[in-house]
Structure 1
Amino acid sequence: MVIYRPLTRSELPDDTASLARTLIGKIVVRELPEGIASGRIVETEAYVVGDAAGHGYRGQTPRNRSLFLDAGHAYVYLAYGISYMLNVSSEMPGVGTGVLIRALEPLEGIPIMRLNRGIDRLRDLARGPGRLAQALRIDRSLDGLDLCRKGPLWLARDSDEPGEIGQSVRIGISKDADRVLRFHVRKNPFVSGPASLNG
C-alpha cells in the first residue's frame, strides 16, 4: 500500500489560478469499502472571481454552497443530468470560486476503477471529469467534504514532481471561453481534450 501525505490547507495558494496549477501532480484519494482508489491530477481548470463560466458567478445557492467554503473543500455537482464533476473550492469563505479536476492518471485501485467504469482500458478510466468521478464513485454525497483531511475523499501529495505544465483555454464552455485557465501535464496520455490543446 502506498503512503500519501494529506495536502494541508496552508499549502494551498489563495488564488484560484495558482491553485489550479498547484494541484497538477497532486493525488486524489478515494477510500471505498473495497479499498483505496487514487489517481494523480494531470489536468485542471480554474473558475476565478468574476468568471461568467463559474458556478459562483451569480452568488450562493443551496446547490453551489460548497464553492463558498474556504479553500480545499469538495464541490460536487451533476452536469447535464449525466455526470458528476469534482471541484475544489479555492479562495476565502464567501468568494465562490473553484478548480475543476478534469483528469487523473490512475495509481491505486485500478481494478476498482475498472469495475466502476465498466471498461478495461487504463487510459480511459479517468480521462475527463465525468469519467474520473465515475471511476472513483464520486457523487453529491461527498459535496462539502474537507479535502485537506483523511476521509472518504481527500487530496494528497508524494515526492513526485509533475512534468512540464502547459496552459490553454478551457474546454466545453461558451462564457469567458477565451481565458487561458486550463492546466495540464504536457503530452501526458491521461489528459483529456483535443491534442491541439495538450502539447
Structure 2
Amino acid sequence: MPVLIGKVVNASSHVDYVCRVYGRGETDALPQPHDYGFGTFVAVRLAEGGYLVGVIHNTSLWNPEFGNLGPRLSPVDALAVFSPDYLEERATLVAIVILGAVDSAGQVRQGVPVEAASIDAQVHTLAVEEVVAFHQGGEGIRLGYLPMLAARGEPLSPYLLLHLVAYLSQLFPQQAQRLKVLERNLAWRSRVDPVR
C-alpha cells in the first residue's frame, strides 16, 4: 500500500527533486525510515493529473541547531508549553531522481519527462503493482532510464543501479537471467570505472 512520504521543496534540475519527509503532526500516518530508504520507487504527483516516477538516491538531515552550543531560554522538551508556535526546523530530506512519468490515462513513458512537478507536490511510495506496470514492456522488461542513471557519475549511482536490478529481478523472475547479465556488467563497471 502506498505511503505518503512528504512534499517537494526544491529541484536542482528537471529530473532532480528534493522531498522533505513529513514529520510529527503533518500527516495521519508518520512515514517510517524504511518508507523513504535508498532505492525506493516513488511517485511525485502532477497538478494536471498523473505522476512522475522516481527513485530515492540520497538522504540529508537538516538541523539548524547543529553547532549551536549557546545557552537556551527553555529546554527542547518544554518548547511545546512555553512556545506553542515554535516550528520544528529539523528535517529529513530525500533526493529523488526522476525515471519517467505515468499520465492520467495510465500511459507510461520512461526517460526524461516533459512535465515538471511543482513546489509542495506530494510524494508517495509506489505500490509493487505500479512498479511492475512502469517496467512492463511487451514480453520483457523496459529499462529506458538506465543510460541516464548510468551517466550521472555520482558516487552512489553504481550502488543504486545494482540495487534496482536486484529488486526488479524479484519482480520479474522470468527476466532473471537477462537481469543477472546486466547486474554482472554493472558490478564490473562499478569496480573498473573508479580506476580510470
Do both proteins adopt the same fold according to a TM-score greater than 0.5, normalized to the shorter chain?
no
* TM-score range relative to shorter protein: 0.3 to 0.5
Structure having the higher Rg: 2
TM-score by length of 1: 0.35
Is the helix fraction higher in 1 or 2? 2
TM-score by length of 2: 0.36
